[in-house]
Amino acid sequence: MMNREQTAALQKVTLDCVLDLNNNAFESIEKLTTLNVQLTRATLSKTIELAQKGVLANDLRSPLALQESIAIPTVERVQIYSHGVAGLLLDVEAEVIRVTKVLNESWCGQLQTMAENVAKNAPIGAETAMNSLNSSIWVTNMLFGSLQNIGQQALRAARSNLETADEASKMEKHPAIPTKSR
């Protein structure tokens, strides 16, 4: 079984991971709140500005122009906000993957130590059971490693997609100047 030092070390690692996740959650909430405030301020500011222009407009085409001037910046603000939220989610996912890896390594190390201690004190003929336990630990570690790799690949793919969408929106805003053919 585990001695007091091993138990204390395992509890310390677990507590550190929980605190890391809590800190990351609070930072993410703070960033999300900042994004919400920025979006709200920009939207209200633009709405007030456009409402004042609408009141001062004298011709019939002005409302159509105002409507168009509302739509384009609104789409851009929503894209910026969505990009910020997606970035936050990816950061949180990366932190969860990191903490999960630390916890898994710690717990599996303790489990392996415990299995070795049990094997030393096991009665004769228990080798098969101990080999089965060691195999289970190994298979669990391999499964976790595979799942972690899949999670990291998904994270990289999501970041790549986000960057590609970012580049596409920049290209759309600033299209290349066509060259004249001779």
Q: Which of 4, 7, 3 has the alpha carbon at shortest distance from 106?
A: 7
Written as tens digits, the pLDDT of the chain (182 aa) is 567 887 888 888 888 888 888 888 889 889 889 988 988 888 888 878 877 776 666 665 666 666 776 777 777 788 888 888 888 888 888 888 888 888 888 888 888 888 888 788 878 888 888 888 888 888 888 888 888 888 888 888 888 887 887 777 777 665 544 444 44
Cα separations in angstroms, 173 against 16, 127, 166, 177: 45, 69, 11, 12
74 domain-assigned? yes
DSSP state of 180: P
Domain that holds residue 100: 13-169
Give the number of domains in the chain: 1
2 domain-assigned? no
105 domain-assigned? yes
CB 13 within 8 A of CB 103: yes
47 domain-assigned? yes
Look up residue 53 and give its two tokens: 């222009």
7 domain-assigned? no
Element (H, E) at 148: helix 127-173
